[in-house]
Every structure is written in structure tokens, then in C-alpha cells.
Amino acid sequence: MGRAKITVVGAGNVGATTAHWCAAAELGDVVLVDIPQAGDMPKGKALDLMQSSPIMGFDSEIAGATDYEPTRDSDVVVITAGIPRKPGMSRDDLLATNAKIVTAVTEQVKTTSPNAILIVVSNPLDAMVQQAQAVSGFPPNRVLGQAGVLDTARYRTFLAMELGVSVEDVSALLMGGHGDTMVPMPTCTSVGGIPIRRLLSEERLGEIVDRARKGGAEIVGLLKTGSAYYAPAAAVAQMVEAIVKDKRRLIPCAAYCDSEYNVGGYYVGVPVVLGANGVERIVELELDEQESADFQKSVDAVRDLVATMNQLMAG
């Protein structure tokens, strides 16, 4: 039984850090791919990372490439390729550019790794994962997006900071689209088994939820150039681990929902069981009135985003 083969497309901060976390955790052999214009940069990063293995004590082959041949027959392919939103850039510009990039990448992956599970990280996330599934033609359980793991990690971090407790004892769930319309689930948030509402006032909880929602923007504002990459990459590595080790983790991911939650054929953040087949199943929760209204708003935003993308791609 050989090691799993993990391809990371895009050797920028998120991609390279994803390769780092995956290699350090010995999840498999890693191929870091970028566009030909990147020159030898992916090879340089791969070699540097490989040279850390004797020190950190991990056995993973790490290779860099600017074509897809070395990625052939990957078990998992992570797509981080795309441009970040630049100052003054409209959401539609970002949407059109990244949809073209994700389309080109997915076409390559479909040819070289037809049995892979695809994890999309490129933004705007919910639309990009929809596009990757449409282009690949893979069954929806094998195409998913990373958002919920990162969003809940931010939420859990802020709750642990507020309460002065270990992050390990904070268990939480967020649903819906990635970003401003994400839906916090206080009914599914607890600390050491104690419901969060017994420990925090509704008002303070609301402030923490809001900070989690704007977590990415807060980091962009502090960094001035670029966006978050340690936590997004760690979130991807957790998803890769659940797949290659068939852990059946119950975590929120952007998954294809049709009849589930009455979504009607879109990718949206929901709790899923993640294992060797990708999305093993979607966990359907009874939502209260507020959660239901918030979730519907989130689904509507995703639907609008996908419609705009489809128009831009057609035009």
C-alpha cells in the first residue's frame, strides 16, 4: 500500500503552506504545481520543504512542477489557484478571472487524475466549487470546498480567547456561504460540553460571531498586502487528512446540496461526514426560525453569485 498522492495547485502562500502542513503530518507525497510563468519557483519551494524533513522527522516526497504530468493519478487535488482581490477591483472582475483559472485547472485535473477528490479553496469559494464540479463532471461527493473548517476555527479561537480556555474544548458549527452571510449556530456551540449560552451573554456572543464573519477581512487589513494563509492551509490539511485516512470527520464543508436543506442544486456550507469517498453524507439539522432565515439568505447570495458567474462566463 503506497502513500497517498496529494496535489496542490497554486504555489503561493496558501498552496505552499498547505503543502507544508500536509507533508509535516505525513499525509502523503505532495506535488506543488503552478503556471509555467512561475518558472522554477514551485521546484524551489518543494526542495526547501523537502530539506526540512530530516529536521522535522517526516517522510514525504515533495515535488514542484509547472505542468500536470507529475500530478498524474493523485488521490486528492487541492485548488488554491486564483488571484486575490486587489484594491479597487470589483467582485465581478474577481469572479470572472478566477472562474477562468479554476476552469483551466479543473480541465487539467480531469485528464490527469480522473479519480481524485477535489478540494477547492479559491475565492469566491461557493461559486468556484460549483464551477469545478460542472467542469470536471465528477460526482458531487468528490468535489467540495474549504470554508467551514476555517470559519469555525476563527470562531473557536475567539471564543477560547474570550473565555480563557483551551481551544481544544471549544466545539462549534457554522453553516452557509463563506464570508458575510455565514450562519453561526449557537445551539451547536459548546465548551467542554457546556452550551455556550450558559457561559456568554447573547450580546457578547453576537460580537464574537461578527468578528469570525469578518475574520478574513481583519487579517487583510492588518497585513496590508495579501490575505490569510496559515489557518486556511491548516483547514485544508484537516480535510485532506479526513479523506486520506478515512477518518469520517463531522466538519462543515461547502458541499453540493440538492434536496438537502431545500437548497436546490448549489454548493453551500453544511455539516458533512468526510471520509475516503469525499462527502460520505450531509448531516441535516433541524434549524430554528432565525437559523433558517439566515441560512436561506446565505443560499440566495450563493445562487446570485453563481448566476452572475454563469453570465460572465457565457458573455
Determine which one of 178, 213, 249, 303 is catalytic.
178
- CB count within 10 Å of CB 19 equals 30
Greatest Cα pair distance, the chain, in angstroms, is: 55
* Closest residue by Cα to residue 205 from 181, 189, 217, 219: 189
Which DSSP state fits 62? E
CB 113 within 8 A of CB 72: yes
Three-state secondary-structure class, residue 196: helix
- Write out the three cell numbers for 304: 446570485
CA distance 56 to 48: 13
End-to-end Cα separation, the chain, in angstroms: 47
Give a three-class secondary structure readout of 105-160: HHHHHHHHCCCCEEEECCCCHHHHHHHHHHHHCCCHHHEEECCHHHHHHHHHHHHH
Other C-beta atoms closer than 10 Å to the C-beta of 17 total 21
105: its cell numbers: 485547472
Instruction: Please say if 20 is a catalytic residue.
Output: no
* CA 53/CA 56 separation, integer angstroms: 5
Nearest to 149 by CA among 243, 75, 286: 243
Side chain identity at residue 205, one-letter code: L
Do residues 79 and 15 lie in contact, with contact meaning Cβ atoms separated by under 8 Å? no
Q: Read off the DSSP letter of residue 200.
A: S
Q: Using an 8 Å Cβ cutoff, are 7 and 113 in contact? A: yes
Active site residues per annotation: 178
